Amino acid sequence: MTTVERVMPCSAAAVSRVLADGWLHATWVVGASRIRAVAEGWPEPGTRIAHSFGIWPVVVDDETVSRAWTPGAVLVLQARGWPAGEARVRITVAEIDGGCRVRISEDAVRGPGTLVPRPLRGLVLRPRNTEALRRLEWLALRADPGHSADGGLTGAVDPARRHVARPGVLRTRASVLRTRASPVPWIRSSSRGPEHR
């Protein structure tokens, strides 16, 4: 497995809040381009996120399944990205003085990706997951009540408010799901996005 870590100046609980919000998954996971649905109860073991990866117009729809979840400590995912295959991703969070240490360990477990020699897989996974940790930190700092909401950036947009309902202007993800059947069979059409939590 390829492992990268980052010390973050926020609480482990703040990192857990970001990990527990499946709608933020594409914001911090490098390569994920959009989230199509999040199962109720995410990230309890067995729940799923329907996502897409790639750059439009070449996007592939697939899903990620939670295999283990201990808030503030560990999240284990089975990430599917066919035709490349599947990867096992383990994210651990540990409180330390002044913040927390977050580690991501990832490796291919099924499909053509397993045929690539491990050192070559590491050349791709290491920088990708280093950037993922950087993005996760930015989101976690906003989720941590002990830090400023804008992370010191004037005019920064709070990602938790990215789905602001304005009549006649925006159609939120939840309203779209309520008006048509979900394209993902394990998601009921009444699934709600973060604006309804």
- Is the pLDDT at 160 greater than 60? The verdict is no
Q: Count of residues for the chain? A: 197
- Write down the mean pLDDT value for the chain: 81
| 5 touches 102 (CB < 8 A) | yes
Q: What is the CATH number of the domain that holds 50?
A: 3.30.530.20
Q: Is residue 87 part of a domain?
A: yes
Q: Is residue 191 part of a domain?
A: no
Q: Is residue 44 part of a domain?
A: yes
Q: Is residue 158 part of a domain?
A: no
pLDDT of residue 84: 83
Q: Is residue 132 part of a domain?
A: yes
In Å, how far are 26, 91, 111 from 196, measured between CA atoms? Answer: 19, 27, 37
Question: What confidence tier does 81 reach under pLDDT thresholds 50, 70, 90?
Answer: confident
Average pLDDT of the residues in 114-120 = 92
Q: Is residue 169 part of a domain?
A: no
Q: What is the pLDDT of residues 165-194, one digit of tens each?
A: 333 333 334 443 444 455 566 555 444 555
- Is the pLDDT at 158 greater than 50? The verdict is no
pLDDT of residue 55: 87
Distance CA 37, CA 155 (A): 29
pLDDT of residue 133: 97
Output the six-digit token pair for 7. 């010390």
Q: Is residue 184 part of a domain?
A: no
Q: Is residue 167 part of a domain?
A: no
Average pLDDT of the residues in 108-137 = 94
DSSP code, position 170: -
pLDDT of residue 195: 52
Number of domains into which the chain is organized = 1
| 129 touches 104 (CB < 8 A) | yes
Query: Which residues form the domain of 6?
Result: 2-146
pTM for the model stands at: 0.75
Output the six-digit token pair for 30. 């490098």
Q: What is the pLDDT of residues 16-71, one digit of tens each?
A: 999 999 999 999 999 999 999 999 999 999 999 999 998 888 899 999 999 999 99
